[in-house]
Amino acid sequence: MKSPYLSLNPFIPWMKEKHPVEWPKKFGRSAELEVEIGFGLGDFLVQQAQAHPEKDFLGIELGWVFIRRALRKITLAGVKNVRIMQADVRVALERVFLEKSLRSACSLFPCPWPKKRHVKFRLFSHAFLKLINSRIADDGEVLIVTDSRSYFEWILSQLSGTGFEARSKMVSPRFSTKYERKWYASGQEKFYELRLTKRQHIKIPLKEDMSLITYRVDHFDPERFDLPKRRGQIMVEFKETLYDPKQQKGMVRSVVGEDNLVQDFWIEIVRKEKLWHIRPAKGCSIIPTAGIQRALDLVYDAMTR
């Protein structure tokens, strides 16, 4: 059985990194940085790294199955100028990159989310275009290729006031991605290419991590411990609660949703020095946000009612 990947060295566990990430340290040099959003199987990412050894490339993808395949290809190709992150690109751009820190970005065949009720999931909304504008250098470029005419037209409708100048054309297959091959095999011979050149800067500062307030209380009764759900701009749901009387320790699995970010983590309630401490459990990778603080506040409120 072959190994699913040969090396984890290109992988960046960004949630444990200091934000913003210092990219020259991650690549061992200072060079122009280009990002591929949703790199899929990683073929184009590796090809670009091979063709442009003078540049650095970062792939951002959500699915681990794609990441492990790309890690294997990166190692087999012997390229040293590629790094990979597992993240929602909207969250990553908000928290990991300084303004004007990217030379360019590309997204090949992103999901068009064709149903009306799914429009909110589409990339390249007006808000996202302004965000990526803020992270791209002056005169930098965003390349988007799609098989979907309706999605292409929707992106065009989002462009006003985003600081980009758009050029579009129909192109033949040339990227050799999974979805390009799929649609070409099904009979589609032309695709929609959109090149967005930055002409005006949209200022969006880095979204900084907040300092969390943890709690200590003098009493905890697990039998009367009842946690509420909270919805609204910040959604908090408590999925399960565990308690070990021998260790005098409780654990609360919490799911927090805010903006484009969903975090699934544990809050621990542990007795130490005659007090019960409420805090995120050790080993959980979290981004310290207002939502995490809200979850801690709700646990504290439930313990002190």
pLDDT tens track for 131-140: 999 999 999 9
- Judge whether 43 and 111 are in contact, CB under 8 Å: no
What pLDDT does 3 receive?
66
Q: Are residues 23 and 148 in the same domain?
A: yes
- In this prediction, residues 1-9 reach a mean pLDDT of 74
- With CA atoms as reference, report the closest residue to 252 among 226, 274, 271, 213: 226
Which of 198, 227, 249 is where one domain is finished?
198
The predicted-structure confidence for 267-280, as pLDDT tens digits, reads as follows 999 999 999 999 99
| 222 secondary structure, DSSP code | G
What is the CATH classification number for the domain harbouring 177? Answer: 3.40.50.150
- Which of 169, 198, 227 is the last residue before a domain boundary? 198
Residue 247 exposed, middle or buried by CB count within 10 Å (0-12, 13-18, 19+): exposed
Question: How confident is residue 159, by pLDDT bands cut at 50, 70 and 90?
Answer: very high
Q: Is residue 7 assigned to a domain?
A: no
Q: pLDDT (tens digit, 9 = 90+) per residue, 163-214?
A: 999 999 999 888 878 777 887 787 788 999 999 999 999 999 999 989 999 9
Residue 259 predicted with pLDDT over 90: no
Structural domains in the chain (count): 2
135 contacts 239 by C-beta, under 8 angstroms: no
Q: 65-118: per-residue pLDDT in tens?
A: 999 999 999 999 999 999 999 999 999 999 999 999 999 999 999 999 988 888
- Percentage of the chain lying above the pLDDT 90 cut: 80
What pTM did the predictor assign?
Answer: 0.89
Q: Return mean pLDDT, the chain.
A: 93
pLDDT over 70 at 1, yes or no: no
Q: Residue 157: which residues within 8 A CB-CB, separation 6 or more?
A: none
The boundaries of the domain holding residue 290 are 215-304
Residue 2 clears pLDDT 70, i.e. is over it: no
Calpha distance 193→61 (Å, rounded): 21
Q: Is 232 helix (H, G, I), strand (E, B) or coil?
A: coil
